[in-house]
Amino acid sequence: MKLTGLFLILFMICFQASASKAQLYCGNDGSTIQGGDVWPWSVAKPFPWDDISGFWKLGDDDGSYVRAKFLSSTSNRKILTLQIYADGLCSRPYARGTGYIDVTEKNVVRAILIDSQYRYQMKLGLFNPRDLSMDVNSCSSNVMAVSMQVVGRAQYSRDSAVKPIDASMMETHNMLLKKVTFDPALGCQK
């Protein structure tokens, strides 16, 4: 099976051992858990809308980042745009999408991202490290967690040669995020 798209990033993240960190995270434990959605979304803290904009290192992978931008807010809705950078901060965005707060989970942002081949569901939330099912050795009272999974193909195709998505690709991947300080205008050469 040829690994392409954001799935390749998820594959690399889940099988690469490293010492990743989350926002203000100080531990040296791996920050990726493969399998079902393991984060306790019902105890997520209020979402950090004032601090979410910017670049976040995605899980254990050295070159993958999420760029979040708070787009708009009304009394009933908050919108977040998300971009995935697969080849470092100066690369072109690989996948794009929009996130929102669900009525049933007011502290969790749900997003759909699309790359050239697949659609992904992403959930983001802020947690107290003690509420997570992993030892994060945090030096902070908060960590940002994300779960991602393939939910379908990017485009509908009438081509009978298109095969169903392999079930292993639809597995949920759980990661911690680390906010990074980066200004593309200053850090990327054109």
Q: How many CB atoms lie within 10 A of CB 169?
A: 15
How many Å apart are CA 43 and CA 66, to the nearest integer? 23
Tens digit of each residue's pLDDT (9 = 90 or more) over 31-90:
555 556 788 999 999 999 989 999 999 877 678 899 999 988 776 778 999 999 988 888
* Span 159-173, pLDDT tens digits: 556 677 777 778 888
Phi, psi of 169, rounded to the nearest 5 degrees: -75, -20
Ramachandran quadrant class, 167 (left: phi over 0; alpha: psi -120 to 50; beta: rest):
alpha
Is residue 95 over pLDDT 80? yes
Angle 75-73-44 from CA coordinates, rounded to 5°: 85
Residues facing 141 on adjacent strands:
none
**pLDDT tier at 25 (50, 70, 90 boundaries)?**
very low
Alpha-carbon distances of 80 from 50, 51, 126, 171, 187, rounded to whole Å: 12, 12, 15, 24, 24
Pairing relation of β-strands 78-85 and 95-102?
antiparallel
DSSP 43: G
- How, if at all, do strands 118-127 and 173-180 pair? unpaired
Q: How do residues 132-159 score in pLDDT, each as one tens digit? A: 876 665 566 789 999 999 998 887 655 5
Domain limits, the chain: 5-154+167-181
Q: Is residue 5 a contact partner of residue 126, using CB atoms and an 8 Å limit?
A: no
Overall average pLDDT of the 23-29 stretch: 36
Task: Write down the residue that tokens 């940002």 correspond to.
Answer: 144
Residue pair 39/143 in contact (Cβ under 8 Å)? The answer is no
Q: Which residue has the tokens 């680390």?
A: 178
Mean per-residue pLDDT over the chain, rounded: 76
